[in-house]
Amino acid sequence: MKILITGGAGFIGSNFVHYLLEKYLDDEFIVLDKLTYAGRLENLKEVIDEIIFIKGDIFNKEDVEKIGECDVIFNFAAETHVDRSIIDAGVFVKTDVFGTYNLLEYARRYDIEKYIQISTDEVYGSIENESFKETDILDPSSPYSASKAGADLLVKAYYKTYGLPVLITRSSNNFGPYQYPEKLIPVLILNALHDKPLPIYGEGKNVRDWIYVLDNCEAIDFVFREGKVGEIYNIGAGNEKTNIEIANLILEELNKSKSLIKFVKDRPGHDFRYSLDTQKIREQGWISRYKFDDAMRETIKWYKENKWWWKRIWR
């Protein structure tokens, strides 16, 4: 099977490429990535000889054409940082919505076997109590989540209109190796390692539901193999934590003072709590395999031991 992973040089995409290469020895893997600031060949350093890498932008039809034929598409490619989307939403619409449209058209032309859209829990918006189900309405708050929601609707429409064999995964917040140090957990780890202030929005009470990236990779693979075409699957591991809890945990693990925590002005439209109901995927047989505390310890250790990876991008 020829498998295309767009955005495979980013955080989750590169973890997914490593995961696939270890698990499926007979398949061929193509990575198409624009190599934005968040996409780095360093993330694929150990496996670059085992894949076909194409530098390309999913927004450009000509770049998508460079792929040639393939059987399966996993679309990880996206602009992903909420703060950046507040400053400049345009590139989010271009990549996350129009780029998805280009891939869907390509998928139709080549009659691909399955198209898997990697979406996010952020499309549902915030929830005070209880958890979102796949059938809940989309109520995104940021230009990032709105672009992702737009892409999800387009993907569903290609299923209904053209019968394209699509699946959508919506996972909660990921953490693990190769995450660009602008996202909460790598920022907190690297700042703590350097005795720099740990910036926390508002009062630090916002709640996120964390999943270790390898758990998400397994779940995405599970959805691809076992999921029902046309369906959406929430993916989460049930680790709801406030941002201040995360900061405290990292400081404790690194033996650093809590006085490093610095509260900063809250982000506009900041969702208070994300929470996913994951009954659907669990009923089909997927289980989360990684314990939050162990995975966090592994992640902290990885950043400590891999200075080569972050020294040029952390400030």
Ligand X SMILES: NC(=O)c1ccc[n+]([C@@H]2O[C@H](COP(=O)([O-])OP(=O)(O)OC[C@H]3O[C@@H](n4cnc5c(N)ncnc54)[C@H](O)[C@@H]3O)[C@@H](O)[C@H]2O)c1
Sites of contact with ligand X (CB under 6 A)? 6-7, 9-13, 33-36, 38-39, 57-59, 76-80, 95, 99, 118, 120, 148, 171, 173-174, 180
Alpha-carbon dihedral angle through residues 235, 239, 244, 246, given to the nearest 10 degrees: -90
- The answer to whether 89 touches 67, Cβ cutoff 8 Å, is no
CB of 32 to ligand X, least distance (A): 6
Q: Give the contacts of 126 (CB within 8 A, at least 6 positions apart).
A: 141, 271, 272, 273, 274
CB of 108 to ligand X, least distance (A): 19
Going by C-beta distance under 8 Å and a sequence separation of 6 or more, which residues neighbour residue 229? 114, 159, 165, 166, 167
Tokens matching residue 307: 């200075």
Nearer to ligand X, 75 or 191 (CB): 75
Residue of 122, 152, 218, 271 marked active site: 122
Q: For residue 121, indicate whether it is catalytic.
A: yes
User: Residues 33, 57, 121, 271: which is the catalytic one?
Assistant: 121
CB of residue 216 vs ligand X: minimum separation in angstroms?
7
Smallest gap from Cβ 26 to ligand X, in A, equals 26
Compute the chain's Rg from CA coordinates.
19
Of the residues 144, 180, 233, 274, which is catalytic?
Answer: 144
Active site residue 274: no
Of the pair 260, 280, the CB lying nearest ligand X is at: 280
Q: Which two tokens stand for residue 266?
A: 């809250």
Looking at residue 98, the DSSP 8-state letter turns out to be I
- Minimum distance between the CB of residue 171 and ligand X, rounded to whole angstroms? 4
- Nearer residue to ligand X within complex by CB, 7 or 177: 7
Please, which residue, 126 or 260, has the CB nearer to ligand X?
Answer: 126
Q: Where are the beta strands (DSSP E) in 121-237?
A: 166-171, 173-175, 198-201, 207-212, 232-235
Nearer to ligand X, 260 or 296 (CB): 296
CA distances from 150 to 147, 154, 232, 251 (A): 5, 6, 14, 38
Is 180 assigned a catalytic role? no
Residues annotated as catalytic are: 121-122, 144
